Chains A and B, each alone.
Chain A
Amino acid sequence: GENVEQHPSTLSVQEGDSAVIKCTYSDSASNYFPWYKQELGKRPQLIIDIRSNVGEKKDQRIAVTLNKTAKHFSLHITETQPEDSAVYFCAASKMETSYDKVIFGPGTSLSVIP
């Protein structure tokens, strides 16, 4: 089955700097890659997703890149702000073709230092 790895497990950056989180997946048939943000004590919420027919997607300060050949994808946050502090989860799924299980990575705890 699908296995998703995520690095680093913790990340501290100064406010205004960029943050990069990297994930790898094992199932070459996976075609949908979402990123979720979970603030302390709250539920996970989708922040951005990418499909396998797209190499990069941007939404204001966040962007995701996908390398299908290498089976890895990354989240980029620019101009970080204290409110970006949270745990970020990547995930992989074959959801684009049919309903399927969504497998998450272990998460990255991001701290933005003012």
Chain B
Amino acid sequence: NAGVTQTPKFQVLKTGQSMTLQCAQDMNHEYMSWYRQDPGMGLRLIHYSVGAGITDQGEVPNGYNVSRSTTEDFPLRLLSAAPSQTSVYFCASIPSGRASNEQFFGPGTRLTVL
């Protein structure tokens, strides 16, 4: 298994541009989530999904859209990038079957918005 993968690793955008951060997992995990990490603020939940076709908002959803058309993929879309969205973005997933609640994180995407 490749685990949780994220692309790209680094991205620089200009204000107003849009882009999609990709997240995929090959472990058939039902639960997936997106966090942003900023210095001194920990990991803040953007959106999460409990299965294909189901998404919900987290703590800081404004400016971001998600969809979950397949179990494997959970892309995060920035509609119109702003400097305040400069951050490190982590995708995570939890194994199905409820035996464990451990979140497995991807390697992260470092985004800079100029």
Contacts and interface: CB of A to CB of B under 8 A. Distances in A.
Partners in one complex: yes
A105 B42 CA distance: 6
Interface size class on chain B is: 20 to 34
Given A34-B101, A49-B102, A95-B101, A44 B45 contact: no
Interface in A10-50: 32, 34, 36, 43-46, 49
A43 B40 contact: no
| Residue of A1, A49, A104 with most chain B CB atoms under a 10 A cut-off | A104
A99 B43 CA distance: 18
A43 B108 contact: yes
Given A1-B59, A99-B30, A89 B43 contact: yes
Contact of A104 (B43, B94, B106): B43
A61 interface: no
Nearest to B33: A102
A43 B107 contact: yes
B53 to A, nearest CB: 14
Interface in B87-112: 90, 94, 101-103, 105-108
A89 B58 CA distance: 18
Contacts of B74: none
A60 B28 CA distance: 31
B68 interface: no
A44 B102 contact: no
Contact of A46 (B40, B59, B102): B102
A99 B105 contact: no
A93 interface: yes
Interface of A: 1, 6, 9, 32, 34, 36, 43-46, 49, 89, 93, 95-96, 99, 101-107
Interface of B: 30-31, 33, 35, 40-45, 48, 50, 56, 58-59, 90, 94, 101-103, 105-108
